[in-house]
Amino acid sequence: METQAAKPDSKAQNILMGRGSSRRAITDKLTQVGVTLGGTMVFVALLLIFFYLLYVVKPIFDAAEVEPVMSVPLAESVPALMVGSDEQNEVIYRVSQTGHVDFYDVSASKLIETEQLNLPQGTEVVSSSASVPSEQRFALGLDNGQVIIAGVEFSVTYPDNKRLITPNLRFPNGKAPLTVDAGGSGIHNLAFDYSSDKMTFAYQNDNKVWQLSRQEGEENMMTEEVEWFAYNGTISDAPTQVQQQLMTPDQRQLLLRSDNKLFIYNIRDVESISLLQVLELGRTGANVTNVSLLAGASSVLVSYDSGLVQQYFQVNGEQGRLYQEIRDFKNDAGIKSVASEFYRKSFVTISDDGYLSLLYTTSQRKLFSEDFKLSNIGSMGFSPRSNALVVEADNQLHLFSVENTHPEVSWSAMWSKVWYEGYPEPKYVWQSTSGSDDFEAKLSLMPLAFGTMKAALYAMIFATPLAIAGAIYTAYFMSPKVRSIVKPTIEIMEALPTVILGFLAGLWLAPLIEENLPGILVLLVLLPLSILTTAFAWHNLPEKVKQRLPETYQELMLLPVIIFVGWFSFAISPTIEIAFFHGDSRMFITNELGITFDQRNALVVGIAMGFAVIPTIFSIAEDAVFSVPRHLSNGSLALGATNWQTLIRVVLLTASPGIFSAVMMGLGRAVGETMIVLMATGNTAIMEWSVFEGMRTLAANIAVEMPESAIGSSHYRVLFLAAFVLFIFTFLFNTIAEVVRQRLRERYSSL
């Protein structure tokens, strides 16, 4: 009966076991699918981030595009002084050298309006001059010593909710001609510029003598009217035969081209004009065809009949600021005409046979080049937004659309030294914005990558020894009771918000270090010495004394020593500063040693960011050391090895994959850190290894500048490129860490 009774129980037990096995199988399968799906989604998310960054970054490396839009026959055959268009590219204009202005409708390809400047009776135009492109202003020199200043402008109205662009002429100084030469001599070879309170005219009179006339306006305090005062001077040493004359918009320099020489005069003081420099522009087998000013008027472009274009700008040297050849661009055909953009450093050249090239100086790129089969080339001009180009050729005005969104970006401009306007030599510079419209963007990523590596290096120098040594001691030597308190305490440090650490580092730690520099140096020396001395003293104590102290809390004996050494170092700091640094260690470092000192520097960042990285390294390294099988260390000790021999030759070798992973994880954390370096450094994009100077990192730069960058701009996309570089950095570090960890595991797995 017992046997019969046991059979149902056995059968029920088998049924229950079968049900449990099927449930486990289903659970295992679901877990496997979930883990696989989760891992796949993580991989897909990384790929999506990768390709999205590439999607945003790609347009900055796209080539420019120039395409013909329309052409219209000219109403007259007098040579053009300047051509251009309105901002919307709906109306183009042509100003002749006699002051005749024609406006053409782009959509209808026809002449819509003609303006002719009213000349005094019995006078005629003997010279004309155009100002910088952004002003769209010109002046006519008359044979009676007078000048007429006019400009092209467009008014926009919206009748019946339709945009209507009306072209007209503006006269900044009134329609009445302005007397420049009181003797009534003709105004030949005119060069001019105009501002609200100053006008300057350079010209040759009938006797071929170069004259300079300046009129400065001052507001009358009583009547609030502007009164103009004239000042005149003579350029006695100027060449007689001049092919081109240019004046900088600040009215400080006059440039005269005579054959293959460029004479540069300082005209700040009309009554004391001086020759600054004579540039020899001649090249073997090539003659100068054109000299023009780049946007901002800091650079001079010199083009040749061989197709060569050279850029000059002033460089500070032993003899002062002088023009120097900086870079050149080579074309296949001789240059007939050159035009620069209103605000950026792009310019376009066209040859005699219509070969058009679009170039950019800072990145030294040829953005576009194509033969449009044009002939009889005249003037060229960009639209205000630089998205269109007007070319006079074949007795027609040709309008070209221009797509040139990101000319300032190139691999060489981001990763190589670039010679920027006004700089004494080529440098790595990050300066993305300025208050000036004609600012030369400086988008080198080298200072940011360098700052990222510098911040990570100093953080790792501070954190790695402390974290690894602490992990080894905690896992191998510390008593279990103390370890149960120390390990969670250090790990919970990782939960501290980095913004709090950055706040404390910038507002408390940085001033503290600056005020106690000698104390910091003393602390770096005394702290390790005091710990070693304490350990040595403890080692030599009699055994009876050691036995009276509980072995569990022996580690805590160091706390009073560390606290006392820290207090003593800061207490003695003022005495050392007075005795050795004349009472001011910062001034001593700056003046005597010649080292720049920033309050928020790499030392502050290293300590603050090291404090944030320590929990990451400590936790992983401690787990790796503690997880070493006990039979390995016990076997080593049984064979007669000491604790240190066992630690170095058995435990650390076995735990080395985990320790290396901990270091690389900490490095990845340091590379990607944002808030600490943002708040604890001066955010200066410099390339100096000095511990007393700051830096700017990729992550901090993105955090600072992304909110203020215009969406779709070069600045915006370069910031995404910086994020992509940061992504690559962390990816490489993690990949290297995994490869090395696997090799270490294979090598020491036999232990």
- Name the β-bridge partners of 322: 315
CA distances from 323 to 21, 90, 267 (A): 87, 39, 16
Q: Which of 218-232, 505-519, 657-671, 701-715 has the weakest average pLDDT?
A: 218-232
What kind of fold does domain 446-748 have according to CATH?
A: MetI-like fold (1.10.3720)
Can you give the pLDDT at residue 2?
Answer: 46
* Type of residue found at 27: T
Q: How many CB atoms lie within 10 A of CB 79?
A: 12
Q: Which of 506-515, 603-612, 742-751 has the weakest average pLDDT?
A: 742-751
CA distance 325 to 302: 10
Can you give the pLDDT at residue 721?
Answer: 94
Helix, strand and coil in the chain, % to nearest 5: 45, 30, 30
For residue 372, pLDDT beyond 80: yes
**What average pLDDT does range 547-552 have in this prediction?**
69
pLDDT in tens, 466-498: 999 999 989 888 888 888 888 888 888 888 888
For residue 408, pLDDT beyond 90: no
**What average pLDDT does range 650-672 have in this prediction?**
87
Can you give the pLDDT at residue 438?
Answer: 67
Sign of the four-CA dihedral 95, 100, 104, 110: negative
Can you give the pLDDT at residue 696?
Answer: 92
3 state SS for 337-387: EEEECCCCCEEEEEECCCEEEEEECCCCEEEEEEECCCCCCCCEEECCCCC
Q: For residue 187, give the H/E element and its range.
A: none
**What average pLDDT does range 601-621 have in this prediction?**
91
**What average pLDDT does range 380-398 have in this prediction?**
93
pLDDT in tens, 421-457: 989 899 999 988 766 666 788 999 999 999 999 999 9
**What average pLDDT does range 128-146 have in this prediction?**
92
For residue 240, pLDDT beyond 60: yes
How much of the chain exceeds pLDDT 70, in percent?
Answer: 95
Can you give the pLDDT at residue 41?
Answer: 92
For residue 658, pLDDT beyond 90: no
Please tell me what DSSP assigns to residue 87: T
pLDDT in tens, 161-194: 888 999 999 998 888 899 998 888 899 999 999 9
pLDDT in tens, 348-365: 999 988 899 999 999 888
What is the phi-psi region of residue 186: left when phi exceeds 0, alpha when psi lies from -120 to 50, beta otherwise? Answer: beta
Length of the chain (residues): 751
For residue 550, pLDDT beyond 70: no
Can you give the pLDDT at residue 483?
Answer: 86
Can you give the pLDDT at residue 668?
Answer: 86
pLDDT confidence tier of residue 15, bands split at 50, 70 and 90: low
Q: Is the Cβ–Cβ distance between 675 and 468 less than 8 Å?
A: no
Residue 67 DSSP SS3: strand
How much of the chain exceeds pLDDT 90, in percent?
Answer: 42
For residue 61, pLDDT beyond 70: yes
For residue 632, pLDDT beyond 80: yes
**What average pLDDT does range 525-548 have in this prediction?**
83
pLDDT confidence tier of residue 5, bands split at 50, 70 and 90: very low
CA distances from 164 to 88, 275, 486 (A): 11, 49, 76
**What average pLDDT does range 43-62 have in this prediction?**
90
What is the rounded average pLDDT for all residues in the chain? Answer: 87
For residue 730, pLDDT beyond 90: no
**What average pLDDT does range 201-223 have in this prediction?**
87
The domain limits of the chain are 118-239, 446-748
pLDDT confidence tier of residue 3, bands split at 50, 70 and 90: very low
CA distance 301 to 312: 7
CA distance 30 to 28: 6
